[in-house]
Structure 1
Amino acid sequence: MSETFSDRRASLTEQEGGTRRSPLRDFLHGAALIFDFGGRLGRRGITTTRHPSDASRLEADWWAVGNDMRRAMGQPPVKHPTS
């Protein structure tokens, strides 16, 4: 049995998970990225509530280093302003 044009088109527009994507939608999204000077279209909504970011972990490490240095010099440790 031969494959019809609409069958081929449907198979080309399918994405993983069974969702259909429109080629026109993909084209317009790509065209919009050209004029996205602020980089807002390419951002993904990633939450960091469960896993702290590397920057916040690095900041906490440096606060600990600073407090260790203060203790070594005989000064009281300083409380982190965000905690």
Structure 2
Amino acid sequence: TPEAVLQLLQQRGVALAGSHALVIGRSRIVGSPLAAALLAADATVSVAHSRTKGLASLCRSADVIVSCAGYPGLVRGAWVKDGAAVVSVG
């Protein structure tokens, strides 16, 4: 799944190097490996989870948001800055 997210971003022309990527969810299956892969792609990575405060603020600052927390509708449109890439890993 993390590789599929990276391929999706690449196919859409999303430049990861130098970007701020936010991964919402820290599971061993998706969130943590995805965060490591984004770091390897030279993105600056933030990881949010169930105890994270200020999720809206983190989302507003991110160039790439990947929600893999398993909650539909967790990220609201008003939280996403113009031009940001958003992936929901449902």
Q: Same fold (TM over 0.5)?
A: no
Rg (Cα) greater in structure = 1
User: Under a length normalisation based on structure 1, what TM-score does the superposition of the two structures give?
Assistant: 0.17
Larger strand proportion of the pair: 2
Q: Which structure has the higher relative contact order (CA within 8 Å, separation 6+)? A: 2
Larger helix proportion of the pair: 1
